[in-house]
């Protein structure tokens, strides 16, 4: 099993979520995140004083999938999240040892 | 004094005005509170509420008498503190001042004292011990505000036979407090920002306003309350009050336009904080002038104040004093502009209206006198409070946040899952 973690532009969340659901993904976890990459921060102005804000808001989306689905789900996310401009984010996968569904106690692939 | 009778129209308007000026206290608390960081929003708002509590208490005890009692020795410097001590003879349903109940006039003027002190707190955001602030507020009101308000607001034969020197001898025009309120508070703010020193990270790390909608709401409430402040200063329901009301809108909208234009040209963006700041700058500048200029004069005062106040914000970075929320740029500078511009655009008395330069000279003397007195006394009082009890919180408390350190509270609880482990019931009976 794999945990797919994606950092996205906030406004792309709906498209990515719809694309994942269309691809048969049945669950995900979404949280607000902040950070920076090559895009860097941005500038804000308060009463004429300019501040460079390093951390900019992003969405972190996490999906658990079977090993076999991992590559195709990553492709779905990348395709839906892409605008072609800097700051589109990143997607990575992590190996997962065990998954348990709390309600039923199912383990492994059955719990996804 | 001639026999006076109660006028119900005047009384009704002044009761409403007293309510309106009281609304300026929470308005100011929101305006200032939104501008600081999350960790100090409560302390910022508490300084306004605290100022109201301490100053109005002193107002009843001896403040009113110091401002509106007979001038001691007829010198116009300070009123007789014993004459109306604890509002002797005035806190009853029959005593009149002008054509309104004395009680209403006392309440209305008492809030002026409180708001003036509250304005100062903007210069010392994030770092002042609350107890030290309360002590400063009481001493400053007594030694600075009450005398200066006597100079400016106590007219001969109104409450008492002899009043203050600026109002009667000098003849400078200050309808609602450009000198006594705004220059006074601005000069004290400058002094306190010097006494307390810069916040950790001033000019280096971002100190962004944490809630601009609160700032906008605060500015709107201040504006609404200011109708009582300016139009209520007529102490009557009449044409003077009407003109003051109109000019209070005219100057304010002009200042908003001017502040936003400066920002658009200089920074590339018209900001909400700029609009809210323009509102207050315009209100400040028209305060002394609202009853003695035409509507076009008010527009001009607003435009000048909007531009110069917006540009003055940069002074603190250039000279290195941490006037956190720009009490100097908005209240001191705005107050000076409004007070001096009466000398140019005042109807009948202004240089541009064929009045010559004599009024301008009187206005300048009023500005200089109030600024010098307030700045020097504020430095001394601030230093004494600092030596006696320490005005500033520790470095640790400042960084972790003054709300938690001083008040044991946080402004916002955005999730409900912080689990407490020990609960003890109220220590009250």
Q: Digits of tens for pLDDT over chain A (112 positions)?
A: 999 999 999 999 999 999 999 999 999 999 999 998 887 778 888 998 888 888 888 999 999 999 999 999 999 999 999 999 888 999 999 999 999 999 999 999 898 8
A interface with B, Cβ–Cβ < 8 A, is 44-53
Of A47, A50, A51, the CB nearest to B277: A47
**Of the partner residues B208, B310, B317, the one whose CB lies closest to the CB of residue A46:** B208
pTM given for the model: 0.89
Alpha-carbon distances, residue B429 vs B215, B408, B424, B426 (angstroms): 39, 21, 13, 8
pLDDT tens-digit readout, B256-282: 999 999 999 999 999 999 999 999 999
CA distance to partner chain B, nearest, from residue A69 (Å): 35
- CATH number belonging to domain A2-111: 3.30.70.120
Among candidates B269, B277, B317 on the partner chain, residue whose Cβ is nearest the Cβ of A45: B269
**Alpha carbon distance B77, B165 (integer Å):** 7
Chain-chain contact of B274 with A47 (C-beta, under 8 angstroms): yes
* Domain annotation for chain B: domains and CATH numbers: 8-407 (1.10.3430.10)
In total, the C-beta contacts within 8 angstroms joining chain A to chain B are 31
Tell me the mean pLDDT in the region B245-261. 98
Query: Chain A partners of B266 at a C-beta cutoff of 8 Å?
Result: 48
Residue with tokens 């109201």: B52
End-to-end CA distance of chain B: 54
Contact A46 B209 (CB under 8 A): yes
Verify whether the Cβ–Cβ distance A48 to B277 is below 8 Å: no
CB-CB neighbors (< 8 A) of B268 in chain A: 45
Average confidence score pLDDT of chain B:
95
B65-88 pLDDT, tens digit each: 999 999 999 999 999 999 999 999
The confidence score (pLDDT) of residue A54 equals 84
* Candidate from B206, B208, B313 with C-beta closest to A48: B313
Domain range annotation of chain A: 2-111
How many angstroms away from the CA of A83 is the closest CA of chain B? 26
Nearest one of B252, B272, B247, B250 to B260, comparing CA atoms:
B272
Residue of B nearest to A44 (CA): B208
Q: Over the range B339-365, which residues count as b (16 or more CB within 10 Å of their CB) and which as e?
A: bbbbbbbbeebbbebebeeebbebbbe
Closest Cα in chain B to A47: B274
Q: Which of A41, A48, A50, A54 to mutate to test the interface with B (most CBs of B within 10 A)?
A: A48
> Which tokens belong to B402?
């003054």
Looking at the partner chain, which of B267, B310, B326 has a beta carbon nearest the beta carbon of A45?
Answer: B267
Tell if the CB–CB gap between A48 and B263 is shorter than 8 Å. Answer: yes
Q: How far is B314 from chain A (nearest CA, A)?
A: 8
For the segment B330-378, what is each residue's pLDDT rounded down to a tens digit?
999 999 999 999 999 999 999 999 999 999 999 999 999 999 999 999 9
How does pLDDT run across B114-139, given as a tens digit for each residue?
A: 999 999 999 999 999 999 999 999 99
A45 → closest Cβ in B271, B314, B317: B271
**B429 — pLDDT class (breaks 50, 70, 90):** low
**Structure confidence at residue B204 as a pLDDT band (50, 70, 90):** confident
Q: Which residues of A touch B267 (CB under 8 A)?
A: 45, 48, 50
Q: Are B64 and B110 in contact (CB under 8 A)?
A: yes
Closest residue of chain A to B316, computed from CA coordinates: A49
DSSP string, B78-139: -B-TTTTGGGTTTSSSS-EETTEEHHHHHHHHHHHHHHHHHHHGGGGTTTB-HHHHHHHHHH
The rounded distance, in Å, linking the Cα atoms of B28 and B50 is: 12
């Amino acid at each position: 099993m794999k945990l797919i973690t994606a950092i996205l532009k906030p406004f792309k969340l709906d498209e990515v979520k719809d694309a994942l659901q269309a691809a048969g993904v049945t669950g995900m976890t979404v949280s607000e995140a902040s950070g920076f990459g090559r895009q860097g921060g941005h500038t804000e102005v308060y009463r004429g004083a300019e501040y460079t804000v390093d951390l900019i808001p992003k969405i972190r989306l996490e999906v658990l999938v079977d090993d076999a689905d991992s590559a195709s789900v990553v492709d779905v996310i990348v395709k839906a999240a892409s605008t072609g401009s800097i700051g589109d984010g990143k997607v990575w996968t992590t190996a997962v040892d065990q998954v348990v569904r709390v309600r039923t106690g199912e383990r492994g692939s059955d719990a996804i | 004094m001639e026999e006076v009778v109660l006028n119900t129209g005047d009384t009704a308007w002044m009761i409403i005005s007293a309510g309106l000026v009281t609304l300026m206290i929470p308005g100011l608390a929101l305006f200032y509170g939104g501008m600081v960081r999350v960790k100090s929003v409560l302390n910022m708002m508490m300084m306004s509420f605290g100022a109201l509590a301490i100053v109005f208490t002193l107002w009843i005890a001896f403040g009113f008498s110091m401002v509106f009692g007979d001038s001691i020795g007829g010198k116009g410097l300070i009123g007789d503190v014993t004459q109306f001590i604890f509002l002797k003879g005035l806190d009853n349903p029959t005593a009149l001042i002008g054509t309104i109940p004395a009680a209403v006039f006392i309440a209305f003027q008492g809030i002026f004292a409180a708001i003036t002190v509250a304005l100062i707190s903007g210069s010392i955001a994030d770092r002042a011990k609350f107890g030290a602030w309360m002590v400063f507020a009481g001493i400053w009101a007594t030694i600075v505000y009450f005398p200066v308000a006597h100079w400016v607001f106590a007219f001969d034969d109104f409450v008492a036979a002899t009043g203050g020197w600026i109002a009667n001898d000098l003849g400078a025009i200050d309808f609602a407090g450009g000198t006594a309120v705004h220059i006074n508070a601005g000069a004290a703010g400058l002094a306190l920002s010097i006494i307390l020193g810069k916040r950790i990270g001033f000019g280096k790390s971002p100190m962004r306003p944490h809630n601009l909608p609160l700032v906008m709401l605060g500015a709107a409430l201040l504006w609404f309350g200011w109708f009582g402040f300016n139009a209520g200063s007529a102490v009557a329901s009449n044409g003077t009050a009407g003109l003051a009301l109109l000019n209070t809108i005219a100057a304010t909208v002009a200042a908003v336009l001017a502040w936003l234009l400066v920002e658009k040209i200089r920074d590339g963006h018209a900001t909400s904080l700029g609009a809210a700041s323009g509102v207050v700058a315009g209100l400040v500048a028209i305060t002394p002038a609202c009853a003695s200029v035409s509507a076009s004069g008010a527009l001009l005062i607003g435009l000048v104040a909007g531009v110069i106040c917006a540009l003055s914000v940069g002074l603190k970075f250039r000279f290195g004093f941490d006037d956190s929320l720009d009490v100097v740029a908005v209240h001191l500078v705005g107050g000076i502009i409004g007070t001096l511009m009466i000398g140019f655009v005042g109807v009948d008395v202004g240089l541009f209206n064929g009045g010559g330069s004599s009024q301008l000279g009187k206005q300048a003397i009023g500005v200089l006198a109030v600024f010098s007195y307030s700045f020097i006394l504020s430095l001394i009082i601030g230093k004494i409070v600092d030596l006696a009890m320490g005005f500033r919180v520790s470095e640790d408390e400042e960084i972790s946040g003054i709300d938690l350190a001083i008040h044991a509270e946080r402004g916002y609880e955005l999730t409900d899952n912080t689990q407490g482990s020990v609960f003890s019931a109220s220590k009250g009976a």
